[in-house]
Structure 1
Amino acid sequence: MSNVEEPQPPAARQLPGHIAAALAGAGGATDSAGQPWAGRSLAGDDAKIHNFEDDDGTADAGYVAAVASLREGRGGEEAVVASLATARVFIPIVAQLAEEEETAHGLHADKQADMALVTLKAADGRTALPAFTSAAALSAWHPEARPVAVYAARAALSAVAEGAELLVLDPGADVTFVVRRPGVWALAQQHGWIPSYNDDELAAEMGRAASGFAAIRRLELLPGRGVAARAADGSVVPGGGAGPELQVVLYLEDGLDAAGVQQLVAGLQAEWSRNVLFGERVDSLEIKLRRAPD
C-alpha cells in the first residue's frame, strides 16, 4: 500500500499476554505436534493452526464478502470492520536478537533471541500494526515471520498495547484495508463502529459546538479524501484508506477577512478538541470553507 512504509525493526519489549500465550500454545520453536516452524511453507497441511481447531489458514469468509461488497459499492467500511468482530487473523512475529556472545575466534553468535511484533510506519508518522486474514498473505509479505492466530479483536488490543493507532489488514495484498483509530478502539472493546462521516450523533455534537460562532451558518460532514484506498490492480476501493477520514464543510457568512476566518477555525477546533465524543470518534479531519448561500 502506498501510504504504509516498510516494516520497522521491532523494539525489544515483552509481547502482549494473549499473543505470548498464543505463541506458546503454538509450541514455541515447534508447533503443537512437535514439527519445527523453520522452513514451513504455510500451504496445505502446513497452514493448519493448532490454536484454532480445523483452521486451514484461509481468509474469513465474512471478511472476504464484506470487502467484495465494499468494492462493488454495495457495502461500507462499517460492514468490513463488523466482519472482523468474529474473524481470525494472523499477527506476524519475528525473532529479535536479545543477547549475543563472542566466540573463541572473535566471532559473534546468537545467544538469546526474543520474539517481537512487527510494526509499520504510516505516511503521517503514526505506528500501525499489520494483521493478515490468511497465512498465505502473511507468508508472501514476510516469509520469515511466524504467524500467530488470534481473533481480530485481540489484534486490536495488541495494536493499542503497542501504541499503534492503525490496524492494517493484508499489507501488500490485492486489497489492503486500514482500520483507523476509532475502529481499532471499537474492535478492541467489541463495540460497533460507525464511520465519523456517517455518524449522526457526532454531527449533532459538532453542530452544537459550531452554533456558538455566529459566522457559521451550518456545517456538513462528508468522507475525507483519505477514506478511499487503491487496490493492487489500480482500482479505487471506497474505504480502507488511512485518512484523513472526515471532511467538515463550513458554510460561512460573507464579510470575514482572512484573519477572521483563521481565528474562527482555530476557535472551533479548540471547542471540538475538548469534546469527548469527538475525541473518541474522529481519527483525522480536513476542513473546507464555503460561502453560505443567500
Structure 2
Amino acid sequence: MASNEPGTTPPQRHLPGHIAAALAGAGGAFDSAGQPWAGRSLAGEDARIHNFEDDDGTADANYLTAVAALKSGHGDETGVISSLATARVFIPIVAQLAEEAEGQDGLQADKQADMALVTLKAADGRTAMPAFTSAAALAAWHPEARPVAVYAARAALSAVSEGAELLVLDPGSAVTFVVRRPAMWALAQQQHWIPSYADDALAHEMRQVAAGFAAVRSLELLPGRGVAARAADGSVLAGGGAGPELQVVLYLADGLDAEGVQQLLAGLQAGWSRNVLFGERVDSIEIKLRRAVH
C-alpha cells in the first residue's frame, strides 16, 4: 500500500489560555517600548528607527551562526529557533491613511497618516507576519517601511495578536526562514520548541488515538516535505520551510477498500484534532499509507 494523501493544514485554532494570558500581559499591539502601533505619525519621535540603544542594525550573531550551521548540514531548525530566544529583530510598520481632507484644489489630501503592522498571505492562504534580522534586509524589502526593533519573542506575540500563523524572517533575502505556528507560539512564551516530527510525547498521544482503529498496526512521525527551505542561491536547507511540517506514516492491515481508507483517515484526523497536545504542537500534516509487514 503506497498511496499518498495530500498535506492538510488544520484550521486556525483558538489560543490556549496560557498563550492568551501572555498576549494580554505583553506584546500584542504594542512595540518594544510598550507604545501602541496605532495612531502614530511619521514625524518627530515616532520616526526613530528603533528603541534599542547602541544597536547597529546588523543581524544577531547567534542567529547567523545557527543559520550557517543549518546551511552546512551541521545544524537543524531547532537551533535556529533557539537562537531567536534572545535575538532582536525588526518589525516593519508602514503609513496608512487614517483620515482624508479635501485640499484647495479639490483633491483628497492625506490629513493623518497612522502606522500599521505589515501582514502577508502565504501560498496556502494563511496570514504571515514578516520580521527582519537586520535593518538593511528590511530596507531592501520595503524602503518606505519604518523598522521597529523588538525581541523576537515580542514579535511572535505581535504575530499571534494579528492572527498570523507564520512568522517569516527576512523575506526576499539570501535566506528566508519561516517560523511555523507551534514554534511561533513557543517563542512567544519563551519556551523550548520541539518539532512535531521529533516529539516523543506527541507521538505517544497520536498512537493512543490510532490504537482505537483496528486497521492501524503502527504509525511513524517524520519531517514533512515542507520542512525544507530553499535559499536564494538554490541550496536546500533542512528547516525553515512553511510546511507541511509533519509526515505521518500509517502502517495498515490488508483488506481496506478506498471507502474504508477514507473513513479511517477521517476518524483519525478527527481524533487527533480533539487532542490538546496535537492542537498546540502540529502545524500541518501529510499522511502516507503503507502496508503493515507481518
Could you state the TM-score of these two structures normalised by the residue count of structure 2? 0.86
Whole-angstrom distance in 1 between the partners of 2:197 and 2:266: 21
Are 2:206 and 1:206 aligned? yes
1:281 to 1:225, Cα distance in 2 relative to 1, 3 A = same
Whole-angstrom distance in 2 between the partners of 1:212 and 1:124: 32
Are 2:136 and 1:136 aligned? yes
Partner residue, 1:178: 178
Matches within 5 A, 1:16-165: 16-18=29-31, 21=34, 29=42, 51-165=51-165
> For the aligned residues, what is the CA RMSD?
1.8
The SS at the match of 1:288 is: strand
For structure 1, the residue ranges without an aligned partner over 5 or more in a row are: 1-14, 38-48
For residues 104-162 of structure 1, the C-alpha deviation after alignment (integer angstroms, 9 at most, x for no partner) is: 22111110111000111000100000000000000000000000000000000000010
Residue type of the alignment partner of 2:105: H
**Aligned residues of 2:93 and 2:117 also touching (Cα < 8 A):** yes
Question: How far 1:51 moved relative to its partner?
Answer: 2.0
**Aligned residues of 2:41 and 2:112 also touching (Cα < 8 A):** no
The SS at the match of 2:31 is: helix
Whole-angstrom distance in 2 between the partners of 1:50 and 1:273: 41
Residue type of the alignment partner of 1:89: V
How many residues align structurally?
265
Whole-angstrom distance in 1 between the partners of 2:103 and 2:42: 24
Whole-angstrom distance in 1 between the partners of 2:132 and 2:258: 47
Partner residue, 2:276: 276
Whole-angstrom distance in 1 between the partners of 2:44 and 2:109: 25
Whole-angstrom distance in 1 between the partners of 2:41 and 2:155: 19
The SS at the match of 1:144 is: coil
Whole-angstrom distance in 1 between the partners of 2:35 and 2:74: 36
User: Structure 1 stretches (4+) deviating beyond 6 angstroms?
Assistant: none
For structure 2, the residue ranges without an aligned partner over 5 or more in a row are: 1-27
Residue type of the alignment partner of 1:124: D
Question: How far 1:252 moved relative to its partner?
Answer: 0.3
1:147 to 1:260, Cα distance in 2 relative to 1, 3 A = same
Whole-angstrom distance in 2 between the partners of 1:76 and 1:262: 35
Residue type of the alignment partner of 1:143: P
Percentage of identical aligned residues: 77
Partner residue, 1:197: 197
Could you state the TM-score of these two structures normalised by the residue count of structure 1? 0.86
Question: How far 1:18 moved relative to its partner?
Answer: 2.8
Question: How far 1:21 moved relative to its partner?
Answer: 3.7
Question: How far 1:20 moved relative to its partner?
Answer: 7.2
For residues 26-65 of structure 1, the C-alpha deviation after alignment (integer angstroms, 9 at most, x for no partner) is: x964576x9x66xxxxxxxxxxx56222210000000000
The SS at the match of 2:287 is: strand
- Structure with bigger RCO (C-alpha 8 Å, 6+ apart): 2
1:266 to 1:50, Cα distance in 2 relative to 1, 3 A = closer
